C-alpha cells in the first residue's frame, strides 16, 4: 500500500482538499438557506438543468456552432433560468407552488439533457462526467471558479444575512417591515443555483443534492440559532468530504464523493433520531 501521506500531499489531492473546504462553505451558507426555505428540491432541479445546459454547450462546441463554448457557462445559464422561473412562481413566498414549478422544470430539462446527450454520442462521456463528478480530477481552472463563486456566496450571505433570515422566516412580514423581500428572494435563489453549478463538477449532479442539503438539514435538527446551523453544517460537510478523500486515498477504486454523500446523509438521520428524544 502506498504511503497515505504521499497521496494526500499529491497535487490532485491538495486540489481536492481545497475543493472540499470550499464546498463545505457553500453547504453552510447556500445550503442552510435552501433548508430554511424548504427548497431542497430546487437543488436537484437546478443540478439537472445544469446538466442539460452543459450538454447544450458541448453540442454547440461539437458542431462548431459556437466553438469552445464553455460547459460551465451553459450549465450556469440553464441553472439560473430554472431558479428564476421557480422564483417567479414563488415570489410571494409560497414554497409549495415553487415545488411544482421545479418539478415541471426538472422533467423538461432532463428531457432536454437526454435528447442532447443522445445527439453528442462520442462526447457524451463529458456530460456523463457531470452526473457522477470527480473531485480528484478537478483542474486548476475548476478550482479557481469554485473559489471565486464560494467567495461571492459567502460575501453576499454575510452582507444580507439578516435580510435572508427575515425573508426565510416570514416573507410577507419582511416586506411589511421595509425589506425588499422579493429582491432578496431572487438573490437567494441565484446563490443557490450558482453554488449547485460549481459544486456539480466536483461531486456530480446526483450527490450535489447530498452535499448542499444534508449537512444543513442535519444541523437544523439540533441547532437553536441560524449561526449554529452555519457552523455545524460546515463541520458536517467538511468532515464528510475529508473522510471521503482519506478513504479514496486508502482504496483507489472508491469514489470520495460517494463516501462523503453517505456520511452527510447518515449525519442527517442520526440528528433526526437524536433530536426526537
Partner 1 sequence: MDNGYAVEVENLTVKYGEEIALEDVSFKLEHPSFLTIIGPNGSGKTTLLKSILGLIKPEKGSIKVFGINVLENATKARHMIGYVPQRERISTNVPIRVSDIVLMGRLARYGPLTVPSKHDMKKVKEALELVGMIDFWDKKFSNLSGGQQQRVLIARALAVEPKMLLLDEPFSAVDIPTQREILNILFNLRMRENITVVLVTHDVNPVIECSDKIMILNKKLIAYGKPNDVIKDEVLLKAYGAAVKIIAHEGICYVLSGDTHA
When asked if residue 223 is in the footprint of partner 1 (CB under 8 A), the reply is yes
Instruction: State the nearest-atom distance from the C-beta of 234 to partner 1, in Å.
Output: 16
**Least CB distance from residue 271 to partner 1, whole Å?**
13
Interaction of residue 43 with partner 1, rule CB under 8 A: no
Counting residues that bind partner 1 (by CB under 8 A) gives 30
233 is a site residue for partner 1 (CB under 8 A): no
Nearest to 26 by CA among 237, 190, 220, 206: 237
Interface segment toward partner 1; rule CB under 8 A; list 82-90, 164-172, 194-202, 206-214: 164-172
> How far is Cα of residue 141 from the mean position of the Cα atoms in its chain?
18
Stretch that binds partner 1, among 21-29, 52-60, 158-166, 255-263 (CB under 8 A): 158-166
Binding to partner 1 (CB under 8 A): which residues in 171-210? 171-179
Q: Per rule CB under 8 A, is residue 162 in the interface with partner 1?
A: yes
Q: Is 10 exposed, middle or buried (0-12, 13-18, 19+ CB in 10 A)?
A: middle
CA dist 42 and 81 (Å) reads 12
Nearer to partner 1, 6 or 172 (CB): 172
By CB under 8 A, residue 220 contacts partner 1: yes
Position among 195, 226, 233, 265 found at the interface with partner 1 (CB under 8 A): 226
Three-state secondary structure string covering the chain: CCCHHHHHCCHHHHHHHHHHHHHHHHHHHHHHHHHHCCCHHHHHHHHHHHHHHHHHHHHHHHCCCCCCCCHHHHHHHHHHHHHHHHHHHCCCCCHHHHHHHHHHHHHHHHHHHHHHHHHCHHHHHHHHHHHHCCHHHCCHHHHHHHHHHHHHHHHHHHHCHHHHHHHHHCHHHHHHCCCCHHHHHHHHHHHHHHHHHHHHHHHHHHHHHHHHHHHHHHHHHHCCCHHHHHHHHHHHHHHHHHHHHHHHHHCCCCCHHHHHHHHHHHHHHHHHHHHHC
Q: Which segment (36-44, 58-66, 121-129, 244-252) binds partner 1 by CB under 8 A?
A: 36-44
Q: Can residue 36 be called a binding residue for partner 1 (CB under 8 A)?
A: yes
Nearest approach, Cβ of residue 102 and partner 1 (Å): 17
CB of 172 to partner 1, least distance (A): 5
168 binds partner 1 (CB under 8 A): yes
Closer CB to partner 1, 50 or 153, in the complex: 153
- Closest approach, Cβ 29 to partner 1, in A, equals 15
Q: Which is nearer to partner 1, 92 or 141 (CB)?
A: 92
Q: Which one among 151, 159, 183, 254 touches partner 1, defined by CB under 8 A? A: 159
Cell numbers linked to 106: 426538472
Binding site for partner 1 (CB under 8 A): 35-38, 93, 159-160, 162-163, 165-166, 168-179, 220, 223-226, 228-229
Amino acid at each position: 500500500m502506498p504511503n497515505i501521506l504521499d497521496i494526500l500531499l499529491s497535487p490532485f489531492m491538495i486540489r481536492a482538499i481545497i475543493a472540499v473546504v470550499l464546498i463545505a462553505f457553500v453547504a453552510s451558507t447556500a445550503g442552510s438557506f435552501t433548508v430554511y426555505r424548504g427548497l431542497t428540491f430546487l437543488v436537484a432541479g437546478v443540478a439537472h438543468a445544469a446538466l442539460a445546459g452543459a450538454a447544450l454547450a458541448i453540442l454547440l462546441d461539437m458542431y462548431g456552432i459556437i466553438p469552445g463554448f464553455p460547459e460551465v457557462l451553459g450549465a450556469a445559464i440553464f441553472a439560473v433560468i430554472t431558479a428564476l422561473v421557480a422564483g417567479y412562481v414563488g415570489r410571494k413566498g409560497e414554497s409549495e407552488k415553487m415545488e411544482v414549478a421545479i418539478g415541471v422544470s426538472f422533467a423538461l430539462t432532463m428531457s432536454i439533457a437526454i435528447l442532447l446527450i443522445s445527439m453528442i454520442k462520442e462526447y457524451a462521456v463529458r456530460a456523463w462526467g457531470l452526473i457522477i463528478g470527480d473531485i480528484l480530477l478537478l483542474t486548476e481552472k475548476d478550482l479557481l471558479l469554485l473559489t471565486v463563486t464560494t467567495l461571492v456566496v459567502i460575501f453576499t450571505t454575510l452582507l444580507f444575512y439578516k435580510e435572508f433570515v427575515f425573508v426565510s422566516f416570514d416573507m410577507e412580514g419582511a416586506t411589511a417591515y421595509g425589506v425588499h423581500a422579493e429582491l432578496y428572494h431572487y438573490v437567494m435563489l441565484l446563490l443557490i443555483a450558482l453554488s449547485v453549478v460549481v459544486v456539480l463538477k466536483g461531486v456530480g449532479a446526483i450527490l450535489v443534492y447530498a452535499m448542499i442539503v444534508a449537512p444543513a438539514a442535519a444541523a437544523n435538527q439540533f441547532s437553536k440559532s441560524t449561526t449554529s446551523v452555519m457552523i455545524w453544517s460546515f463541520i458536517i460537510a467538511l468532515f464528510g468530504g475529508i473522510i471521503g478523500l482519506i478513504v479514496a486515498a486508502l482504496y483507489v477504486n472508491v469514489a470520495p464523493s460517494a463516501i462523503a454523500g453517505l456520511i452527510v446523509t447518515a449525519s442527517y438521520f442520526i440528528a433526526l433520531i437524536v433530536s426526537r428524544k
